[in-house]
Structure 1
């Protein structure tokens, strides 16, 4: 398994950052390579991705969700094996640190080489930067799910 950890500070309150992150179907607007996400239940999402020309589909199960603190997941079906957690830390009334930690198993030669070259780390760094731009430009979340898992 490979591991990636990245963080970004966003200039919105922790509640706003967390609420937006729970809107999984908006991820294609700031995550490169994510074509579509369908929220099937409160804890199950279906993903369609296309990275490096390879299209993949998989399901991810939310394993832990604590409002304004964390969202953890693991894949349960499909070609992709990964698990991760996103944590939200209030820095002050208008600034939040968003930290993503992810473990994944590269599939095949191309994924393994890409992982060794730091592709996943660059991808996650870019996705977090785009999340920052997205939420700061909006100034507010597009919705919220405040349940606990």
Structure 2
């Protein structure tokens, strides 16, 4: 099992950051390789990903939700094995630290090789940078009355 921990500070209040992160259907807008997330009910979502030419479909279950504080999940089923948390820390009234922790069990040769090369860490760092750009552009557009920039 591999663990990745990455953080990023965003120039957006914690309430807005948490609410946006809890909108799983928007993940394809900033998460590379995520093609679709479909909310099944309050706790479950169906994911379709395509990373390095490999398409995977799996379901996740939210196992902890603390408004403005944390979202934790785990995969269900056998095809993909990972758990994770995203913690939200208000740095002040307009800034938030987002920290993602993921535990991933690679299966198969390609995933094990990618794990040895640190691909998951690179992916998480990139996703957090894209989320920062996405949420800051989105809120800048809302504050100014102009539409947000495309990410």
- Report if TM-score (shorter chain) is over 0.5: yes
SS at match of 2:91: strand
Kept in 2, the 8 Å contact 1:87–1:99? The answer is yes
Displacement of 1:78 in angstroms is 4.7
Q: TM-score, normalised by structure 2?
A: 0.91
> 1:77: Cα distance to partner?
2.1
Distance in 2, matches of 1:89 and 1:53, equals 35
Runs (5+) with no aligned partner, structure 1: 143-149
What SS does the aligned partner of 1:62 have?
Answer: strand
C-alpha distance after superposition, 1:31-64 (max 9, x if no partner): 0000000000000000000000000000000000
Alignment of 1:37 onto 2:40: no
User: Aligned residues, how many?
Assistant: 141
Q: Which residue of 2 aligns with 1:82?
A: 82
The answer to whether 1:117 aligns with 2:126 is: no
- Of the two, which has the highest radius of gyration? 2
Distance 1:78 1:36 in 2: 19
1:46-98 Cα offsets, whole Å, 9 max, x none, are 00000000000000000000100000000012511000100000000100000
Q: TM-score, normalised by structure 1?
A: 0.92
Is 2:3 aligned against 1:3? Answer: yes
Helix, strand or coil at the partner of 1:139: helix
2:145 corresponds in structure 1 to none
Partner of 1:91: 91
Across the aligned residues of Structure 1 and Structure 2, the Cα RMSD in angstroms comes to 1.2
| Greater than 6 Å deviation, 4+ residue runs | none
CA distance in 1 between partners of 2:46 and 2:107 (Å): 19
